[in-house]
Chains A and B, each alone.
Chain A
Amino acid sequence: MSTKRSPLIFNVLAECATSKARTGKMILPHGEVNTPVFMPVGTQGTLKGLLTEQLEKLDLQIMLSNTYHLGIKPGVEVLKKAGGLHKFMNWNRCLLTDSGGFQMVSLLKLAEITEDGVKFESLNDQKSEIVLTPEHSIEIQNTIGADIIMQLDDVVKTTSPDNARIEEAMFRTTRWLDRCLMAHKRNDDQNIFPIVQGTLNKELRTASAKAHMERDVRGFAIGGLSGGESKDDFWRMVHLSTNILPKNKPRYLMGVGFAVDLVVCCALGVDMFDCVFPTRTARFGCALVMTGQLNLKQKTYKLDLNPIDKECDCSTCQTYTRAYLHQIATIHPVSCHLLTVHNVAFQLRLMKNIRDNIVANTYPQFVQNFMYNLYPNQNYPTWVVDSLAAVNIKLLSI
């Protein structure tokens, strides 16, 4: 018998000659993923009101689900009986699950972190208490069966002033990584990504990245960012991490999804992103466009018979006007579905543009035009100017 194919094959297909941007193809058990990729978040085994048929039509290749939520409902037993999340939700393409660690930050008041793991008080069910250990997180993720699964990490808010706690969390994250790798039962068809921690501390982040690179893993995540820190700190940490991480493995920046951030972080050499923003903002009646977002509840759209975006070929823009969306936004669930379709299509189109420009070796010009359109008065934020300058892209000043 021939040796089994690796559950993750990553090939860099083109690199930007100026910046650190690169485009590649990642082959996972449930299909191919073109990178850089944005992964929309389907927290509870569903992408916010869209049928999987619609997601395939959008050419979505991978989405994210949350271990914490799925572990509570439908629960491991049901997922096991269903034969994993892919079958349960009727999605045959790639999935990534987080570890439940991030929920620590958001639910910290209800959680207690020890060396053993995290003790949660479930939000949905008043009585039960859940202890999430690295082993338990992997067990749940093994049952869910996503193509990429995340190690349980000890997340500290980037704004935390407690250096001892930051250091403890960084080292603990590596210890937990080893426990996750030990507990992992499906190494042939699921890939664990370690998470580089260390908040905004250069030394700690470097140590974290290096320690994780010593483990036998197929990709890396950069975690603990996008949590309220300044953008100046944020990009420096991303830049530092991608400088250290190996070029031949995918790098996943967790929790990032604003268009500007995506364009900058691709230039910094990131391959994968996820964020709830595009789908969440849709439910508040907002549609993404290259120049920002339209709040369709605003009166200015009442008589606007244009589609959200003339350039967009999503089913919403092909069929509906801003004026109609204005009438139904935040009132009827149909409006959530329509705006979610558009916003996911927007993110995917942006990523395709990024990939195409990297292949054509025109990424610096793409970035310049993108930023110029977004800031026509050239009042570029300092962090954007600085971060791009760090990878040799100078913004236009006319």
Chain B
Amino acid sequence: MKFIVEGITKCAPRLGVLKEIERHPNITLETPMAMLYTRGGSIPHITNEVFKLITTKSQIIQIPLVSTYNFEDVMTHYNGTIAEFVGMKECISCMTVQDPGDYTQPGHHVQDLIPLWTRHGKVLLNAKLYMILVELFKPDMYYFLSDGDTNIASPTKRVNKAVQNTVKYYKECIEIHKNSKILKNSFAMGVIAGGYNLKARKDCMDVVCKIDSIGGYLIDGLHNNGPEVEFLCAEEIKPVVEYIVENLHHTKLKAIHGCWNPVTILQLIKLGIDLFDTSYCHIVTERSCALTFSLDLSNTEEAFELNLRQSQFADDFRPILPGCACLTCVKYSRGYIHHLVTVQELLGPLLLTIHNVHHYTKFFETIRECIRNDTLRILEETITKQFNLYQNGVKEKRDEDEELNSTEVVRDEVNRTNEDNVQIPLVPTC
């Protein structure tokens, strides 16, 4: 696999392509892009049959080890790749350690082992154990084992330990990778750890960036994954990401994972990040919402997001987003989806996932087009404006609710959970 990037300016939005993928020679992928988030090997709610019904140009599936660790035994008996095993052989697989859509419990480190919180309890990994799993899974791309258990509040001691672990794993993983016949066609990526401490990040890069054979880097350790990442604001992460990108070779692929909101995604793209994931779509779907932010630079009428549980949609037979070409919008109405999510039918989140992943993929297509036409700034303004309007609306509604609730003595819990009052997260303004 090769990554070729256009432009040489560091810390600037850039276009690139991933091509000459050994198992998929005919696929060329354009960056910036989002790989398809999976849990237990499947895109949440989407079977292979449905996947084939929905055309999506993004064809990397992200396989977090934490939700697939239990496949170890069967993969030792299975000759194929992880993509084949999970029924997604038409996709390029990328193995990651943690699950960006799920909160990673911090701490619980045992010496230099990484805790992995699987369904069946805690598993401790070191580089050797990890690389055995990578060889079993035979992914098209993967990241070396890293210690990403840091966030903005991490103490220096934890940050330094994370770097120490990550550097150690890096050295061991690259040795095993070089000698592995099975992985000779897998695109390996190094990991930069070190929280928000620039010195620690430098220490990590000093080792990890020494070897030129590495095709790309993951910037890890910015957060502990899960829905909270949506609330992180770009201003907080910008200095550290900028510092890392400045010090990385510009030709290398750069990835950051997590459920970032679209405004933050744009900021990261402006810093030169190439690769993301669709875990954001998952958390939006889980709260019964649909992404509707405008991708048309001349049109800002749509709301940023619709909460399909709200009773106003009960008899609204328009598509989620008029004009959207996804299967959900072409065939199904807001009213029907409202019905499905209020009666908790499985088809509800399925239809929302189809739309949300489609919309998010379109978002990245639009980003690439805007980079090409040098109109990214307009897209950023449009989406940021919509986002802030939406957040203010949510904030106002919440304040109103709080006022109401404080005067109300008895609250009907059943009605609260049923409709209308599903919590919409509020992103702090920075």
Complex CA–CA separation, A321 to B87 (angstroms): 8
B342 / chain A contacts, CB cutoff of 8 Å: 73
Contact across chains for A51 and B50 when beta carbons are under 8 A apart: yes
Q: Does A74 contact B (CB under 8 A)?
A: yes
Contact across chains for A327 and B50 when beta carbons are under 8 A apart: no
A327 / chain B contacts, CB cutoff of 8 Å: 40-41, 70-71, 74
- Given A51-B53, A324-B87, A315-B48 contact (CB < 8 Å): yes
- Provide the A34-75 mask, 1 if CB < 8 A to any CB of B, else 0: 000000000011101111111001000000000001000110
Complex CA–CA separation, A302 to B335 (angstroms): 41
Candidate in B49, B71, B349 with the most chain A CB atoms within 10 angstroms: B49
Contact across chains for A328 and B49 when beta carbons are under 8 A apart: no
Q: Does B410 contact A (CB under 8 A)?
A: no
B77 / chain A contacts, CB cutoff of 8 Å: 303, 305
- Given A81-B317, A321-B85, A328-B41, A333-B346 contact (CB < 8 Å): yes
Contact across chains for A332 and B42 when beta carbons are under 8 A apart: yes
Distance (Å) between the CB of B335 and the closest chain A CB? 6
Complex CA–CA separation, A74 to B74 (angstroms): 44
Q: Does B315 contact A (CB under 8 A)?
A: yes
Distance (Å) between the CB of A334 and the closest chain B CB? 4
Q: What number of A residues sit within 8 Å (CB to CB) of B?
A: 43
A321 / chain B contacts, CB cutoff of 8 Å: 85
Residue of B nearest to A323 (CB): B74
A323 / chain B contacts, CB cutoff of 8 Å: 74, 78, 85
B332 / chain A contacts, CB cutoff of 8 Å: 90
Q: Does A88 contact B (CB under 8 A)?
A: yes
Q: Does B339 contact A (CB under 8 A)?
A: yes
Contact across chains for A49 and B53 when beta carbons are under 8 A apart: no
Distance (Å) between the CB of A398 and the closest chain B CB? 37
Within 8 A of A (CB), among B30-46: 39-46
Distance (Å) between the CB of B98 and the closest chain A CB? 18
Of A44, A124, A334, the residue contacting B45 (CB under 8 A) is: A334
Distance (Å) between the CB of B322 and the closest chain A CB? 17
Of A50, A126, A333, the residue contacting B349 (CB under 8 A) is: A333
Contact across chains for B343 and A334 when beta carbons are under 8 A apart: no
Distance (Å) between the CB of B40 and the closest chain A CB? 5
Contact across chains for B47 and A334 when beta carbons are under 8 A apart: yes
Distance (Å) between the CB of A370 and the closest chain B CB? 28
Q: Does B12 contact A (CB under 8 A)?
A: no
Complex CA–CA separation, A51 to B350 (angstroms): 9
Contact across chains for B336 and A88 when beta carbons are under 8 A apart: yes
Complex CA–CA separation, A150 to B400 (angstroms): 47
Of B42, B47, B338, the residue contacting A315 (CB under 8 A) is: B47
B343 / chain A contacts, CB cutoff of 8 Å: 44, 69, 73, 124
Distance (Å) between the CB of A92 and the closest chain B CB? 11
Residue of B nearest to A314 (CB): B49
Of A48, A49, A332, the residue contacting B39 (CB under 8 A) is: A332
Q: Does B233 contact A (CB under 8 A)?
A: no
Within 8 A of B (CB), among A84-129: 88-90, 124, 126
Q: Does B416 contact A (CB under 8 A)?
A: no
B53 / chain A contacts, CB cutoff of 8 Å: 51, 53-54
Complex CA–CA separation, A361 to B414 (angstroms): 58
Q: Does A77 contact B (CB under 8 A)?
A: yes
A316 / chain B contacts, CB cutoff of 8 Å: 47, 49
Q: Does B157 contact A (CB under 8 A)?
A: no
Contact across chains for A78 and B347 when beta carbons are under 8 A apart: no
Residue of B nearest to A331 (CB): B40
Of B46, B87, B315, B338, the residue contacting A77 (CB under 8 A) is: B315
- Given A81-B315, A324-B87, A332-B39, A73-B339 contact (CB < 8 Å): yes
Which of the 9-residue segments A209-217, A336-344, A373-381 touches chain B? A336-344
Contact across chains for A341 and B41 when beta carbons are under 8 A apart: no
Residue of B nearest to A57 (CB): B49
Q: Does B345 contact A (CB under 8 A)?
A: yes
Residue of B nearest to A301 (CB): B74
B335 / chain A contacts, CB cutoff of 8 Å: 74, 78, 82, 88
B424 / chain A contacts, CB cutoff of 8 Å: none
Contact across chains for B41 and A90 when beta carbons are under 8 A apart: no
Contact across chains for B85 and A324 when beta carbons are under 8 A apart: yes
Complex CA–CA separation, A49 to B314 (angstroms): 20
Candidate in A51, A52, A81, A333 with the most chain B CB atoms within 10 angstroms: A51
Complex CA–CA separation, A253 to B374 (angstroms): 66
A48 / chain B contacts, CB cutoff of 8 Å: 345-347
Candidate in B47, B77, B346 with the most chain A CB atoms within 10 angstroms: B47
Complex CA–CA separation, A53 to B44 (angstroms): 19
A54 / chain B contacts, CB cutoff of 8 Å: 49-50, 53
Complex CA–CA separation, A81 to B339 (angstroms): 14
Residue of A nearest to B336 (CB): A88
A69 / chain B contacts, CB cutoff of 8 Å: 343
B47 / chain A contacts, CB cutoff of 8 Å: 315-316, 334, 337-338, 341
Q: Does B340 contact A (CB under 8 A)?
A: yes
Contact across chains for A324 and B45 when beta carbons are under 8 A apart: no
Contact across chains for A49 and B70 when beta carbons are under 8 A apart: no
Complex CA–CA separation, A331 to B67 (angstroms): 11
- Since A51-B347, A336-B346 are in contact, a sample of 8 more A-B pairs with Cβ atoms closer than 8 Å, ordered by chain A residue number, is A44-B340, A69-B343, A74-B335, A315-B47, A323-B85, A331-B119, A332-B44, A333-B346
Sort A-B residue pairs by CB-CB distance and give the 4 closest, nearest first: A49-B346, A315-B49, A334-B42, A319-B87
Interface residues of B (CB under 8 A from A): 39-50, 53, 70-71, 73-74, 77-78, 85-87, 119, 314-315, 317, 327, 331-333, 335-336, 338-340, 342-343, 345-347, 349-350, 414
> Would you give 27 A-B contacts (Cβ < 8 Å), ordered by A?
A46-B347, A48-B345, A48-B346, A49-B45, A49-B345, A51-B50, A54-B50, A57-B49, A73-B339, A74-B314, A74-B339, A78-B339, A82-B315, A82-B333, A82-B336, A88-B336, A320-B48, A323-B78, A323-B85, A324-B86, A327-B74, A332-B44, A333-B350, A334-B40, A334-B42, A334-B45, A337-B45
